[in-house]
């Protein structure tokens, strides 16, 4: 089957066309600045050159039209006709408590997703705009929603409840949901496969360290805790997000700086994390370079980032009463040996020893702990698009 995988933001549309049998990516690309002046589409067919075209993209429907046109272009396209697309898999951000697994996007399911809009007011409406635009252009193609929150729905109550008045949970569903679920699921499952072990018998900690970052604890194939909360703001130090913080800081800064709640949340989401601590960059490559040059701002940011991850690993080893494997994934987790090393330096009590040479290798699935390390540490590149394609193929079969 040919599966069209879509990740729609409010002004962007990322896509891949994946063959669900060979699991090859046939083409991929991105539309940027949808509805904003200065639009751009980039398109790369498998084995071909990346093409970038400046074009105004007034709305998502036009974005889809451009993408379908690129994929069926007689010269660089990979399809003769859009009829070859068997199904569409949409990345959906927030499924609330309604979705513990992926679902065919029929009218009932779309209504249920709409009910989750309050929980993710920036992301879910954008996802829905994408689904509707796609349906208009391909009305007869089955569409599946794969939720970022679904994998975490197995968390027990003690892990997902906030210790605030219970009525807010009952009235509004205020609780921890977690995100990056597709990645945590894919990576933990793939880790067991890679190590030749039974997924259902393992305790795995996945560190998804990208611009957004989260850790999860996966016991016997089920997520039992994760670091992001009702929104992606909780947990680790991220590119621009603070992660965990005492809510009392908000009142203090509101008084001192005259900031309202919107400004405070904007500060925590967009101006904090690595960016806030370095006062210079949210990109971990810059932070790493500065760390090696012993720049004070980058040293404090890099150390804070690694310390927070190590703290979560400790908490999750406790939550699962042990850990068999720790996986690093996503932009930073896959590409930054120094970050992995600094995190693992805290893990002596788990019997973790790192093989420096293995840790410096780049690329595929890789074990970076020594043969006698009590806990296995590995790098497992994530592939959320492939995971969405697999789910989509499974549901439409
Ligand atoms: P997201 O999907 O959340 O936007 P990614 O998983 O793509 O994030 O990760 C982006 C982060 O990965 C950036 O901070 C970037 O600097 C970092 N990154 C990418 N390549 C490298 C590298 N070679 N070394 C260190 N960090 C890297």
With a 6 Å cutoff on the Cβ, whether 220 touches ligand 1 is no
Catalytic residue among 148, 260, 365, 372: 148
The reported pLDDT for the residue numbered 344 is 98
The reported pLDDT for the residue numbered 326 is 98
Sign, CA dihedral 28-15-383-239, equals positive
With a 6 Å cutoff on the Cβ, whether 356 touches ligand 1 is no
Best residue among 332, 380, 382 to mutate for probing ligand 1, ranked by most atoms within 8 Å of CB = 332
The DSSP result for 258-323, as a single string, is ---HHHHHHHHHHS-HHHHHHSS-S-HHHHHHHHHTT-HHHHHHHHHHHHHHHHHHHHHHHHTTS-
The answer to whether 391 and 144 have CB atoms below 8 angstroms apart is yes
Q: What are phi and psi of 288, to 5 degrees?
A: -65, -45
148 flagged as catalytic: yes
In this structure, which residue's CA is closest to atom 19 in ligand 1?
331
- Three-state DSSP at 164 gives coil
**359-366: Cβ within 8 A, 24+ apart:** 362/335, 365/190, 365/194
With a 6 Å cutoff on the Cβ, whether 337 touches ligand 1 is no
Count each helix (H run) and each strand (E run) in the chain, helices first: 15, 14
The reported pLDDT for the residue numbered 122 is 84
The answer to whether 373 and 351 have CB atoms below 8 angstroms apart is yes
Q: How far is the CA of 336 from the centre of ligand 1 (A)?
A: 9
In this structure, which residue's CA is closest to atom 22 in ligand 1?
335
With a 6 Å cutoff on the Cβ, whether 331 touches ligand 1 is yes
With a 6 Å cutoff on the Cβ, whether 302 touches ligand 1 is no
Mapping DSSP onto H, E and C, the string for 363-397 reads: CCCEECECCCCCCEEEECCCCHHHHHHHHHHHHHC
Assigned token pair, 73: 């272009």
Q: How far is the CA of 335 from the centre of ligand 1 (A)?
A: 7
Per-block mean pLDDT, blocks of 10 residues, the chain (397 long): 94 96 97 94 96 95 96 95 96 94 95 92 90 94 97 98 98 97 97 98 98 98 98 97 98 97 97 98 97 98 98 98 98 97 98 97 93 97 96 95
Q: How far is the CA of 330 from the centre of ligand 1 (A)?
A: 7
With a 6 Å cutoff on the Cβ, whether 29 touches ligand 1 is no
Rounded-to-integer distance, Cα 308 and Cα 301, Å: 11
**Which atom in ligand 1 lies closest to the alpha carbon of residue 239?**
14
Best residue among 243, 270, 275, 285 to mutate for probing ligand 1, ranked by most atoms within 8 Å of CB = 285
In this structure, which residue's CA is closest to atom 12 in ligand 1?
331
Burial of 347 (0-12, 13-18, 19+ CB in 10 A): buried
**Which atom in ligand 1 lies closest to the alpha carbon of residue 286?**
16
- Three-state DSSP at 49 gives coil
With a 6 Å cutoff on the Cβ, whether 239 touches ligand 1 is yes
With a 6 Å cutoff on the Cβ, whether 334 touches ligand 1 is no
Question: Which residues have a Cβ under 8 Å from the Cβ of 20 and sit 6 or more positions away?
Answer: 1, 2, 3, 86, 389, 390, 392, 393
Number of residues that make up the chain: 397
The reported pLDDT for the residue numbered 352 is 98
Q: How far is the CA of 146 from the centre of ligand 1 (A)?
A: 23
**12-19: Cβ within 8 A, 24+ apart:** 13/60, 13/63, 13/64, 13/67, 13/130, 15/67, 16/385, 16/389, 17/71, 17/78, 17/79, 17/85, 18/385, 18/386, 18/389
**Cα separations (Å) of 32 from 12, 17, 281, 305?**
5, 18, 22, 30
């Amino acid at each position: 089957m040919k599966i069209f995988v879509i990740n729609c933001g409010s002004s962007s549309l990322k896509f891949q066309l994946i063959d669900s049998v060979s699991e090859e990516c046939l083409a991929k690309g991105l539309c940027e600045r949808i509805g904003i002046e200065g639009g751009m589409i980039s398109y790369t067919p498998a084995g071909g050159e990346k093409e970038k075209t400046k074009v105004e993209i007034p709305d998502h429907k036009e974005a889809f039209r451009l993408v379908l046109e690129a994929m069926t272009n007689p010269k660089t396209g990979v399809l003769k006709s859009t009829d070859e697309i068997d199904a569409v898999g949409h990345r959906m951000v927030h499924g609330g408590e309604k979705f513990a697994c992926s679902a065919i996007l029929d009218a009932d399911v779309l209504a249920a997703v709409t009910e989750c809009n309050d929980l993710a007011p920036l992301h879910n409406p954008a996802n829905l705009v994408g689904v509707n635009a796609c349906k208009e252009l391909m009305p007869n193609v089955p569409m599946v929603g794969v939720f970022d929150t679904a994998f975490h729905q197995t968390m027990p109550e003690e892990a997902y409840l906030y210790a605030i008045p219970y009525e807010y949970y009952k009235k509004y569903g205020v609780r921890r949901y977690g995100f990056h679920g597709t990645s945590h699921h894919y990576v933990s499952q793939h880790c067991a496969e890679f190590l030749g072990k039974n997924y259902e018998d393992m305790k795995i900690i996945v560190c998804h360290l990208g611009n957004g970052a989260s850790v999860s604890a996966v016991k016997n194939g089920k997520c039992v805790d994760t670091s992001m909360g009702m929104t992606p703001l909780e947990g680790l130090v991220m590119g621009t997000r603070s992660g965990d913080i005492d809510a009392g800081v908000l009142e203090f800064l509101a008084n001192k700086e005259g900031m309202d709640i919107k400004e405070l949340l904007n500060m925590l989401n967009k101006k904090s994390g690595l960016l806030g601590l370095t006062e210079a960059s949210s990109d971990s490559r810059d932070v790493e370079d500065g760390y090696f040059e012993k720049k004070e701002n980058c040293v404090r940011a890099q150390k804070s980032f690694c310390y927070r991850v190590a703290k979560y690993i400790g908490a999750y080893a406790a939550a699962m009463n042990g850990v068999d494997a720790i996986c690093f994934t996503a932009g930073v987790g896959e590409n930054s040996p120094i970050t992995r090393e600094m995190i693992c330096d805290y893990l002596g009590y788990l019997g973790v020893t790192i093989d420096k040479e293995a840790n410096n290798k780049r690329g595929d699935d890789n074990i970076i702990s020594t043969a006698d390390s009590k806990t296995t540490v590995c790098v497992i590149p994530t592939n959320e698009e492939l995971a969405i394609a697999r789910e989509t193929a499974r549901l439409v079969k």
